[in-house]
Structure 1
Amino acid sequence: MGTGLEARGVHAWFGKKHVLEDISLDFFPGTVTALIGPSGCGKSTFIRILNRMHEFIPTAALAGEVLLEGKDIYESGTDVTKIRLRIGMVFQKPNPFPSMTIKENVLSGLRLAQLKVSGEDELLESCLRRAGLWEEVKDRLGEYGGALSGGQQQRLCIARSLAVNPQVLLMDEPCSALDPGSTLRIEETIRELSSTMTIVIVTHNMQQAARVSDYTGFFLSDGGPGRLIESAPTSQIFSNPKEKRTEDYVTGRFG
């Protein structure tokens, strides 16, 4: 299996504070990788590094490499806009554009990137179907995105990410603000999408990690910078981890 996305020896800082230390992890096409660990151990920082959002934060610094199909996305001269089209991001809090219609929201990434597509209506339907939202909104595409429920807004954000046809989709706790029913719909969407792309999800929900992911990485900071303690197929992390600290965390002894 070829590697879609690879982190190699990644370190991160905010000012003088060292927040991530020497993280190396591979993400494979057609799979979901869950990143778990207590709050404050650097999971969200790490996922933002994977599509160059870390650098938006003043004082943020970085060492190491992030390779997409073997090419370092931090290499000088890299077009960051193109990177973010190939590596999409869905945030913890749904963030549709409230003054845009449902249709405009889905197609907004194409507009921003000045990408022309033939068959906009087909693309719109396809993205909404893949995000599990089409049947609920097909008769209200002209309504504002902000009028949808929280779970629907999150699926709208997923549809918006899909419109530019990313290879990788990063999701930073996409269900933490949602009710159980909406969470289940998003989990179904993640599983369906994973057949066509690489998905990385940060979650605090152990059951969710066990349900949706093929691989799991466990992060821990122990008072210092966040480190990757163990990564393995999800079934192994939850049933037979190598590290006692991983076992303690997934069984709820701490964290």
Structure 2
Amino acid sequence: MSDTAAADPTVPMAAIDAADATDTIVLPGVERPSGGTPLYGLESRGVSAWFGTHKVLDRVSLTMQPGQVTALIGPSGCGKSTYLRILNRMHEMVRTAGLAGEVLLDGEDVYAPGRRPADVRRRIGMVFQRPNPFPGMSLYDNVASGLKLAGIKVSRDHRDHLVQSSLERAGLWNEVRNRLRTPGGSLSGGQQQRLCIARSLAVSPDVLLMDEPCSALDPTSTRRVEETIAELRGRLTIVIVTHNMQQAQRVSQSCAFFLATHDTPGRIVEAGDTEQVFGDPADPRTADYVNGRFG
């Protein structure tokens, strides 16, 4: 099963239209206060996954430290993207998907009975491989749609502030501040990706998952997204899937190497500090992969 076997979900436009733009209810915790904001790490314990009877991940345990960037590396088809979707309960959206193990956010299992998937996905956001803004919707409404999709109702003034602060954190505000009412489809590919990052940031997630966010971008746009990741580090926990070894070294503080064979499902071969994984790996398979000898 390839990493892209499960298609990205399509968000129904009705879900966006359902929120009334005139709502004035401000929910506590929508915007994090400055200073002293707690950071939450993410941990998986013995996670295994299936599509039907085909096992794609086997007993994956990994700790993603709060406020750091963790890179997931490995050849195509070893389960990295599947693992990423498991972390915020998107895996279960595939009809044939199966799962075992635990995923803990701040020590609490996100799959515990009674936990609403929508609440988990608000706290653990996702940025996909290809930018997916709503092309006919304005830049402003694209960012605000994150709030509406999460069911967060805010006053108009507070929404204006959240849109601006989210665009600033995504490194896009200075480029679009004078054209917030233009369609999202009018932006370049790299700008669209940062717009999607801003949309995810609008709901103040604790964790941001990024599935090869630069694979469809040119080098200049890639550099800007990497700068955005660096600016976000320390403010939230980031987990990124990448096939670019140089990118993994540039943006991450810790790294996990996944590997699968024709006979075995994906599993972690080695995990640790990025410097150690790339500079002094313990497993020869890791050394071969990060030095370009296979994959």
Question: Shorter-normalised TM-score: what interval?
Answer: over 0.9
Aligned to 2:135: 98
The sequence identity of aligned pairs, in percent, is 65
2:114 aligned residue (77, 98, 103): 77
Name the SS for the 2:46 alignment partner: strand
Deviations 1:138-183 (A, max 9, x none): 1110011011110000000000000000000000000000000000
**In the alignment, is residue 160 of structure 1 matched against residue 199 of structure 2?**
yes
Aligned to 1:230: 270
**In the alignment, is residue 134 of structure 1 matched against residue 173 of structure 2?**
yes
Instruction: Report deviation, 1:215.
Output: 0.2
Q: How far apart in 2 are the matches of 1:29 and 1:117?
A: 27
Instruction: Report deviation, 1:76.
Output: 1.6
Instruction: Report deviation, 1:3.
Output: 6.0
Aligned to 1:242: 282
Name the SS for the 2:59 alignment partner: strand
Aligned to 1:207: 246
2:221 aligned residue (182, 187, 195): 182
Aligned counterparts, 1:6-85, within 5 A? 6-85=43-122
Name the SS for the 1:132 alignment partner: coil
- Range with bigger deviation, 2-11 or 161-170: 2-11
Name the SS for the 2:126 alignment partner: strand
Instruction: Report deviation, 1:220.
Output: 0.3
| Contact 1:216–1:234 (Cα < 8 Å) also in 2 | yes
Letter in 2 for 1:238: F
Q: TM-score, normalised by structure 2?
A: 0.85
| Contact 1:3–1:26 (Cα < 8 Å) also in 2 | no
Q: TM-score, normalised by structure 1?
A: 0.98
- Range with bigger deviation, 72-81 or 117-126: 117-126
| Contact 2:229–2:251 (Cα < 8 Å) also in 1 | yes
Q: How far apart in 2 are the matches of 1:57 and 1:82?
A: 19
**In the alignment, is residue 195 of structure 1 matched against residue 268 of structure 2?**
no
Deviations 1:216-254 (A, max 9, x none): 000000222001000010000110000000000000011
Q: How far apart in 2 are the matches of 1:112 and 1:170?
A: 17
| Contact 1:100–1:145 (Cα < 8 Å) also in 2 | yes
C-alpha RMSD of matched pairs (Å): 1.2
Instruction: Report deviation, 1:77.
Output: 1.2
- Range with bigger deviation, 112-121 or 83-92: 112-121
| Contact 2:257–2:270 (Cα < 8 Å) also in 1 | yes
Q: How far apart in 1 are the matches of 2:93 and 2:135?
A: 23
| Contact 1:248–1:254 (Cα < 8 Å) also in 2 | yes
Aligned to 1:170: 209
Runs of 5+ unmatched residues, structure 1: none
| Contact 1:172–1:202 (Cα < 8 Å) also in 2 | yes
Name the SS for the 1:181 alignment partner: helix
Runs of 4+ aligned structure 1 residues displaced above 3 Å come to none
Name the SS for the 2:45 alignment partner: strand
Letter in 1 for 2:142: N
Q: How far apart in 2 are the matches of 1:194 and 1:84?
A: 19
- Range with bigger deviation, 86-95 or 67-76: 67-76
| Contact 1:23–1:228 (Cα < 8 Å) also in 2 | yes
